[in-house]
Amino acid sequence: MNEIYLFDKELKGRYGVICGIDEAGRGPLAGDVYAGAVIIPEGVEIDGLNDSKKLSEKKRDELFGVITEKCIYSIGIATVAEIEEINILNAAMLAMKRAYEGLSEKAAFAAIDGNKLPDIDVKCEAFVKGDARSAAIAAASICAKVSRDRYMAEMAEKYPEWQFEKHKGYGTKLHYEMLDKYGESPIHRHSFLKKYYEKRS
């Protein structure tokens, strides 16, 4: 049995049904922050599960199809307006809470990626680099990342000037060039652009 499944097996032995929770999109300059929550049913093992950042886009899409077919999953988001109002860390925690609350089945324990815990009504623990340690967290990481990338592709059609399909909102050279040319779009996180404006002035 793969190491990431052994990690989950030990947690299941202690708590029963477990879910993994992870977020995507804390770093970008634009767009909502997404979170995934996944319960992998007993007896299901998905080949190739790993931290979403270590997988190609094609592989993530493929695994997303398998996860959404075989597992219990939910996606939660926090909007750009919420990011601006409560800050990105709190918004990421809110997206995680929404993802957990959207699950059609409740878990007895939630394994969270990172070092902070969202405010959810279940016993939970945070695991640094959890998406490389736990199968459920890896699956949640893929769900969050693929869902957010697809949302950014939709935003690219809505706001084509900024070419979101290429950089997904991250602070790449191209993205800054588009900001220089067109300014902010309605989905930019204004608070994330302070350094950029200081540099420009």
User: Mind listing the pLDDT tens digit for each residue in 50-77?
Assistant: 777 889 999 999 999 999 999 999 999 9
Q: How far is CA 3 from CA 8, 82, 93, 114, 120, in A?
A: 9, 37, 27, 19, 27
pLDDT of residue 179: 96
pLDDT of residue 41: 97
Residue 22 CA from chain centroid, whole number = 5
pLDDT of residue 1: 61
Q: What is the pTM of this model?
A: 0.96
pLDDT of residue 132: 94
Q: Which domains does the chain have, with CATH numbers?
A: 3-152 (3.30.420.10)
Residue 169 CA from chain centroid, whole number = 14
Q: Which residues, 6 or more positions from 121, have their beta carbon under 8 angstroms from its beta carbon?
A: none
pLDDT of residue 199: 85
Identify the segments of the chain with pLDDT beneath 70: 1
